[in-house]
């Protein structure tokens, strides 16, 4: 789990952070109407849901999501389930944004992370509350409850480290990325970890004023570079991924 923040390339990461902050500020500055900002952020939220599904390997088109928002669901069970997952993502992200705007929240605490998971699963139909282990054993996913089986992560520092005021501004995005990685590594819930962790990273960006008013989304970047972080081959990943991107 250590180092908790990268040691190598810190200056490069700091420059990237400054570039992202500047670009985010320019993006937000182009929208002068609060109502237009709210509506565009809502469209980006739907796009984020599409990419979040894509990251999980679920090809749910924007049209499928638009239909689901109108309660028009596919007759195909698998596609209908993907639509339900998308709806839950959109609803919880909006609820999260409203909560962060209306109260002081410990976004690094386990209560908030469990709250995200609970709100997400409470919006899913009963059949989606079940999952299987690699060996095929079926188990029920308890909304908002931390996983208490098959856990062996050794000694580690909790994500609350990343909320420290000692982390300087040019390290903040790196700290958010590191917190995202540590949560994914810990795999805190029986299922739904990826979606909840992406929502949590969005919350961290809102908390630190880095989300550009909701006009850009982390999930899009992750989905577009999915091959880079799943590292599909024993070697040659970089060259293969660059050739794939050119296609």
pLDDT in tens, 5-57: 887 888 898 898 889 888 888 888 888 888 998 888 888 898 888 888 888 88
What do you get for the CA distance between the two ends of the chain, in Å? 36
Please report the domains of the chain, with CATH numbers, ordered by start residue. 34-147+156-242 (1.10.3290.10)
How much is the average pLDDT of 72-82? 93
SS3 132: strand
Is pLDDT above 90 for 83?
yes
In order of 55, 125, 213, 234, 245, the CA distances from 202 in angstroms are 15, 25, 11, 32, 26
On whether the CB atoms of residues 41 and 98 are closer than 8 A, the answer is: no
Q: How far apart are CA 194 and CA 146, in angstroms?
A: 14
Residue of 71 and 213 predicted with greater confidence? 71
pLDDT of residue 38: 87
Tokens of residue 141, six digits: 């996913």
pLDDT of residue 244: 43
Cβ atoms within 10 Å of 211's Cβ, excluding its own: 23
Residue of 33 and 240 predicted with greater confidence? 33
């Amino acid at each position: 789990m250590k180092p908790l923040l990268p040691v190598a390339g810190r200056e490069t990461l700091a420059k990237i952070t400054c570039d992202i902050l500047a670009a985010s500020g320019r993006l937000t500055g182009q929208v002068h109407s609060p109502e237009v900002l709210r509506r565009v952020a809502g469209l980006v939220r739907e796009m984020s849901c599409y990419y979040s599904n894509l990251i999980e390997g679920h090809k749910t088109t924007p049209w499928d999501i638009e239909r689901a928002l109108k309660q028009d669901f596919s007759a195909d069970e698998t596609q209908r389930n993907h639509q339900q997952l998308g709806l839950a993502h959109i609803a919880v992200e909006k609820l999260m944004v409203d909560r962060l705007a209306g109260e002081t929240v410990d976004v690094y605490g386990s209560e908030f992370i469990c709250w995200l998971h609970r709100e997400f699963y409470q919006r899913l139909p009963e059949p989606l509350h079940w999952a299987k282990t690699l060996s095929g054993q079926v188990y029920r996913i308890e909304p908002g409850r931390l996983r208490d089986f098959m856990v062996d992560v050794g000694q580690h520092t909790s994500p609350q480290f990343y909320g420290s005021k000692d982390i300087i501004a040019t390290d903040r995005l790196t700290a958010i990325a590191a917190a995202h990685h540590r949560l994914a590594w810990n795999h805190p819930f029986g299922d739904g970890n990826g979606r909840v962790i992406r929502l949590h990273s969005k919350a961290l960006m809102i908390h630190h004023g880095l989300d550009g008013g909701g006009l850009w989304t982390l999930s899009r970047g992750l989905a577009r570079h999915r091959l880079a972080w799943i590292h599909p081959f024993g070697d040659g990943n970089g060259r293969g991924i660059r050739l794939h991107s050119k296609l």
